[in-house]
Structure 1
Amino acid sequence: MMIDLEPVQCEQLLVDNYLGHLAYMANNEPHVVPSTYFFDKDERSILCFASNGHRVNSLRKYNKVSFQVDSIKSFRHWKSVQVHGIFQELTGDSAKSCLKRFSDGVQRTIDNKNAERPHFLSHFSGRLQEAEMPVVYRIAVTKMIGKSVEDLT
């Protein structure tokens, strides 16, 4: 049976994960890309970063996005949340602070999920010291919709 998730359940699904899919518009066409993220519950925003390029240029032109996170155990047992929000590019100290929160938050989430320390997290931390940082951004959440299917048979 499919049910709607309550807002607190949607937030928990975002907190418990670190991989999602970002949907954005570019050249009048929809694009969807996988993305590592950290859900900042206090700020009610999704923190991400990317290199300058197609995605970032498109987000700067059209800042309305969707972000989806799933937890799938089987086709009869899954949860999904879709976030609608506004892309906000961060700069300077704000970007550095968010990149640090992102790195620490993703590591905590991974530790809670499966107690592994992926080598790519040192890449995030190392970026804090570089002269040319990646583009750090947040998705300010404007709406959240969640669904769940649990077959109890």
Structure 2
Amino acid sequence: MLGELNEQQIEGLLKQQVIGRLGCHNKGTVYVVPLHYFYKDSVIYCHSAAGKKIEMMRRNPQVCFQVDDIRSVFRWKSVIAWGLFEEITDPDEKQQAMQGITHRLMPLANNPSNHASHGIAENENDIGTTIDPVVFKVVLSRKTGRFEE
């Protein structure tokens, strides 16, 4: 049976997952990439090294975001959401976003102390030496969800 997810199911899937796909568009180019995130109050929080997706979102902040939970070919849930990219520059908000991402991801990592790019490292001096992340949020304005079971 195919169906639509209700608002509560959409919210649940967005909160449950930690990897989503971000779609951005600029000057005739569409770019879709997977990334880690955490979700709270209709906002997707992420971080990334500077590069193509950041450049594209700075030029065109309209993006879409997709997550799914695939149990089998005939048993899955998927959410697609649309919103606006906003780079986080306020130091306090940036720290809170990074803490949220770290707290969401690290319980799922085999060896969290080796992930300096997520703000955790055995040696505090290692933090920030691999990348200086761009921390951003996607403020969602529209969400839809589908399922098959």
Please give the range of the TM-score, normalised by the shorter of the 2 chains.
0.7 to 0.9
128-137 or 84-93: bigger deviation: 128-137
CA RMSD of aligned residues (A): 2.1
119-128 or 83-92: bigger deviation: 119-128
Shift of 1:106: 2.6
**1:123 and 2:121 aligned:** no
Question: For the structure 1 residues 14 and 32, does the alpha-carbon distance in structure 2 shift closer, same or farther, using more than 3 Å as the test?
Answer: same
129-138 or 84-93: bigger deviation: 129-138
Question: For the structure 1 residues 121 and 147, does the alpha-carbon distance in structure 2 shift closer, same or farther, using more than 3 Å as the test?
Answer: farther
Runs of 4+ residues over 6 Å off in structure 1? none
Aligned equivalent of 2:23: 23
Name the SS for the 2:68 alignment partner: strand
Q: Take 1:141 and 1:90, find their aligned partners in 2: how far apart are those partners?
A: 15
Q: Which runs of 5+ in 2 are unaligned?
A: none
Name the SS for the 2:46 alignment partner: strand
Q: Take 2:83 and 2:111, find their aligned partners in 1: how far apart are those partners?
A: 29
Q: Which runs of 5+ in 1 are unaligned?
A: 111-115
Name the SS for the 2:137 alignment partner: strand
Q: Is residue 69–residue 81 contact of structure 1 (8 Å, CA) maintained in 2?
A: yes
Aligned equivalent of 1:149: 148
Report Cα offsets for 1:90-114 as digits up to 9, x if no partner: 0122212211111112335x3xxxx
Q: Is residue 66–residue 85 contact of structure 1 (8 Å, CA) maintained in 2?
A: yes
Shift of 1:122: 4.8
Aligned equivalent of 2:101: 102
Shift of 1:126: 3.9
Shift of 1:118: 4.5
Name the SS for the 1:142 alignment partner: strand
Q: Take 2:10 and 2:23, find their aligned partners in 1: how far apart are those partners?
A: 18
- TM-score by length of structure 2 reads 0.85
Please show how residues 1-153 of structure 1 align to structure 2 within 5 Å: 1-40=1-40, 43-91=41-89, 92-107=91-106, 110=108, 117-119=110-112, 121-126=115-120, 130=128, 133-150=132-149
Q: Is residue 103–residue 121 contact of structure 1 (8 Å, CA) maintained in 2?
A: no
Q: Take 1:15 and 1:107, find their aligned partners in 2: how far apart are those partners?
A: 15
- Could you tell me the percent identity over the aligned residues? 27
Name the SS for the 1:130 alignment partner: coil
Q: Take 1:130 and 1:97, find their aligned partners in 2: how far apart are those partners?
A: 16
Aligned equivalent of 1:113: none
Q: Is residue 10–residue 144 contact of structure 1 (8 Å, CA) maintained in 2?
A: yes
